[in-house]
Structures are given as structure tokens and as C-alpha cells.
Amino acid sequence: MATKHEQILQYITELGVGEKISVRRIAKALQVSEGTAYRAIKEAENQGLVSTIERVGTIRIEKKQKDNIEKLTYAEVVNIVEGQVLGGRNGLHKTLNRFVIGAMKLEAMMRYVEAGNLLIVGNRYQVHKLALEAGAAVLITGGFDTNENVIALADELELPVITTSYDTFTVATMINRAIYDQLIKKEIVLVNDILIPLQDTYFMTTDNTVNKWHQMNQRTGHSRYPVIDPEMKVQGMIAAKDVLGAQMQTPIEKVMTKNPITVNERTSVASVAHVMVWEGIELLPVIDEQRHLLGVISRQDVLKALQMTQRQPHVGETLDDLVTGRFHEMRAGSEYNYQCEVTPQMTNQLGMISYGVLTTLVTETGSRLLKQYKRGDLVVENITLYFIKPVQIESTIDMKGKLLEVGRKHGKVDVELYHEGEIVGKALLMAQLLDR
């Protein structure tokens, strides 16, 4: 039997794209409390099923696939630019394919405007009307309004007319930033990208016996299985060590590991790798919010995915990419030293190198040094960092690393940071090593 929370999420999923959703309406329709309805709507928002807009309400939007994440809905644009919807509310769920800045003469501008676009323009009423007729939505900058005819046309065509107090340049920057952030997210490998789906997963049920484990082990060659109840909820994990010496008729429930570590679809693979190595786990069940089994993820697949992502070109440059992209190796005999120039993006509001960037420099130095001695990936466990002197913009930092200790599972590195021969920072880095 599905819980009330699950029933509400199912109800929201089945609503038509563009339909309005309210806590009161759901509470009344499904006879649940308003608190339960509110929590389910928030979960639907996290899953990308709905979008909430100030002074408009919550609407059902199209759930974007990961390969289409760089496209925004008009509802998301309203939130990005902190705008107000003047007309065409029923079209807020639609996806826009590109935005056009209307900073030219009318005839020239209309050559670029097509259906599914968003035209960013000031208080030019005729342009608003022509854009809507061409099938494009309109974003009016500078806090300007439009006339009643345009609003009526927007409602009729179900194309939003949005107004924002920001200027055109700021608006374009804000939208670009949102798309750029989503491109970075797109590059991050999540559990959902590499899990073995339910239809290909071998699992056992709580009413099975140890004998069933032996049968499955012979048939599949696997030794670890999630254990589920009749509602498909994960109750435990069973492995070879659990059935060792157990009678064939012993219920699986008696020997399984209860309350196992689990992950959800939206967990990053890097985070899963850390858990699996730290806990010595070979196989993890993947579950939804109600603990239903969605599939499994293996340690081998996780480590392979991590190695693949390091070879992929990133579409969006993260802070780490920015710093490590300016990292140069300066080898002197058997020593490995590194150098990095401080660019404006690496500084704080005072024009000094930011603490976050310094931490990245230490991490990168330690990682590169450890990789010279032991192939594989690593997860940083601890950094003790001393900031001795501030380093200003456009300075060059030299980093010297010394390997203190390296074992099968752990490594320790001492890192010193210099500017013009003077020490400006010192750190001790400890990392967990992941074998390839």
C-alpha cells in the first residue's frame, strides 16, 4: 500500500504540464493534511516536476532530461530574473530554446525572433506584440509595463510576458549564469547515470531461505544481494559471509545485515566512492524516498565512472578547473614543484587570494605528488592549513610538496606555498587512496 506522500507525488506526476497546484487543492482532493501536501509539493519541486513563482503560484512543469538540462522553462526564467508575470501565465511551463536581445531596429530584430524564443527588450509595445505573434515570449527589462492589448494577446496565445526591474545586460548575464551552472551540473556523474536498473538487478525477499541464496549464487555467480519486503522496500543486504555455516532452511531475515547503507539516484558518484571505500562495500542498493529498490551500484562501476569523468572535457568551468588549468609543473631533479598565477577570479573582495583557492592549490599539489608514487584516485580526508601571509592579485605562487608517508590505503603530504621566495602558507594533507 502506497503512503500518503507517495500518493501525492503520483497525483502530481499525472497532472498535465502547465496545471496549477496548491496545498489546499491537494489536501482536499486526496484527503490529507495541508502539512503532508506541502512536504510532497516540496519534494516534487526537488525532483524538477513543479516550479513555484512568487505571485503566480506553483505549476506543473516538464521534467527535463539530463541531456536537455541547458534549456530553461519560462517559469525558471521568472525566478532567475526575480520577475513578475504580466500575461500568458498558462504558458509558463513551456521550454524556451534560445533568447534574443532586442537592441536593434524593429525589422532587423524580427529576423532573429522565432517560435519558442524569449525576446529581451525594453518598453517597445509594438515589438512586444510582433514577438508574441511570431510565437516568442517577451521579457521586459527596466521595470517597464506593457499595454492591455499585448496582455490579452499573451493570454490568448499562452506565451508569457514577464517584467523585471533589472537592465538588459544584467538579465542576459543572469540567464547565462543559470544555464552555465546547469551545464556544470550536467557534467557531474550521478548514481542515476551508472546504476544497474531494477529489471537487471538480482535481489532476495525477506521470506527466502539460505537455500535460495545458494541457488542464486550458483545461477548468477554473484554473492551479494539486496533483501526486500513484499512492498519492494529494502530491508537488508545478504553476502557470502552472512550465510557461512547457516542451515539451508534458515530464513534470510535472520542472517542478513539489517538497515544497510543505501544511496539515492541523485547522489554524486564521487560521494558514493568515498562511502564504498571507507566502509569496504562492494555493492550498494539504490532507493527512492520511500526506500523502494530502484537498482544497485557496484564499486567497480563507480571507480570506472570516476576515471572516465577525469578524461571528459568540461562544458562549464568550475572553480577547481579554473585553478588547476593554470597549474604548471616545475620539476627540479627528483623534486616535483608547482606554480600558479593568481587571476582576478581567484581573489576575495580585498584583491587577495581566497582561502578556498589556497585549499584547492594545496589539494592539487598533494594529489599530483601522491599520484607520482601510487596510481589511482584519492579522496582528501583532512587538511591542516596555515595562512602565513596574504597573496595579492596577479602574483605567482610556488608550491613545494614533500611526501611524508604513503601506505596501501592512505597518504600524507606536507605542502609549502611561496611567493617571491617567502613562505606564505603551509599545510598537511591526509588522503584516502582508491586503487584502480
Q: Is residue 406 part of a domain?
A: yes
Query: Does the structure show a pLDDT above 80 at 1?
Result: no
Lowest mean pLDDT among 22-31, 34-43, 316-325: 316-325
* Pairing status of strand 196-197 against strand 293-298: antiparallel
The 10s digit of each residue's pLDDT in 290-310 is: 888 999 998 888 877 776 655
How much is the pLDDT for 397?
Answer: 92
- The verdict on 304 and 368 lying in the same domain is no
Nearest to 62 by CA among 44, 48, 41: 48
- The verdict on 210 and 273 lying in the same domain is yes
Q: Is residue 203 part of a domain?
A: yes
How much is the pLDDT for 408?
Answer: 81
pLDDT band at 212 (very low <50, low <70, confident <90, very high): very high
Using CA atoms of 127, 130, 135, 141 in order, give the dihedral in degrees to the nearest 10.
10
Lowest mean pLDDT among 49-58, 211-220, 245-254: 49-58
Q: Is residue 313 part of a domain?
A: no
- The verdict on 327 and 428 lying in the same domain is yes
Q: Is residue 22 part of a domain?
A: yes
Question: How far is the C-alpha of 419 from the C-alpha of 398, rounded, in Å?
Answer: 6
Report which of residues 375 and 227 the model is more confident about: 227
- Average pLDDT, stretch 190-197? 85
- Which CATH number do you get for residue 257? 3.10.580.10
How much is the pLDDT for 68?
Answer: 47
Report which of residues 182 and 422 the model is more confident about: 422
- The verdict on 234 and 249 lying in the same domain is yes
How much is the pLDDT for 314?
Answer: 45
pLDDT band at 76 (very low <50, low <70, confident <90, very high): confident
Q: Is residue 66 part of a domain?
A: no
pLDDT band at 416 (very low <50, low <70, confident <90, very high): very high
- The verdict on 94 and 166 lying in the same domain is yes
- Average pLDDT, stretch 107-128? 88
- Which CATH number do you get for residue 323? 3.10.129.10
Q: Specify the DSSP element, H or E, that contains 378.
A: strand 377-387
- The verdict on 153 and 113 lying in the same domain is yes
Q: Is residue 69 part of a domain?
A: no
- Which CATH number do you get for residue 158? 3.40.1390.20
How much is the pLDDT for 69?
Answer: 46
Query: Does the structure show a pLDDT above 80 at 3?
Result: no
Q: Is residue 68 part of a domain?
A: no
Range of the domain at 420: 319-433
Question: How far is the C-alpha of 409 from the C-alpha of 424, rounded, in Å?
Answer: 31
- The verdict on 228 and 136 lying in the same domain is no
- Which CATH number do you get for residue 51? 1.10.10.10
Q: Is residue 277 part of a domain?
A: yes
Dihedrals phi, psi of 322, to nearest 5 degrees: -60, -45
- Average pLDDT, stretch 418-433? 91
Tell me how many domains the chain contains: 4
* Pairing status of strand 137-140 against strand 117-121: parallel
pLDDT band at 54 (very low <50, low <70, confident <90, very high): low
How much is the pLDDT for 331?
Answer: 67
- The verdict on 41 and 145 lying in the same domain is no
Query: Does the structure show a pLDDT above 90 at 128?
Result: yes
- The verdict on 92 and 181 lying in the same domain is yes
Report which of residues 125 and 274 the model is more confident about: 125
Dihedrals phi, psi of 339, to nearest 5 degrees: -140, 145
- Of all residues in the chain, what percent carry a pLDDT higher than 90? 31
| Residue at a domain's end among 187, 218, 250 | 187
- The verdict on 197 and 270 lying in the same domain is yes
| Residue at a domain's end among 20, 35, 60 | 60
The 10s digit of each residue's pLDDT in 163-175 is: 999 998 899 888 8
Lowest mean pLDDT among 16-20, 63-67, 78-82, 201-205: 63-67
Question: How far is the C-alpha of 180 from the C-alpha of 90, rounded, in Å?
Answer: 27
Query: Does the structure show a pLDDT above 50 at 313?
Result: no
| Residue at a domain's end among 276, 308, 340 | 308
- The verdict on 273 and 356 lying in the same domain is no
- The verdict on 166 and 196 lying in the same domain is no
The answer to whether 58 touches 50, Cβ cutoff 8 Å, is yes
Report which of residues 314 and 202 the model is more confident about: 202
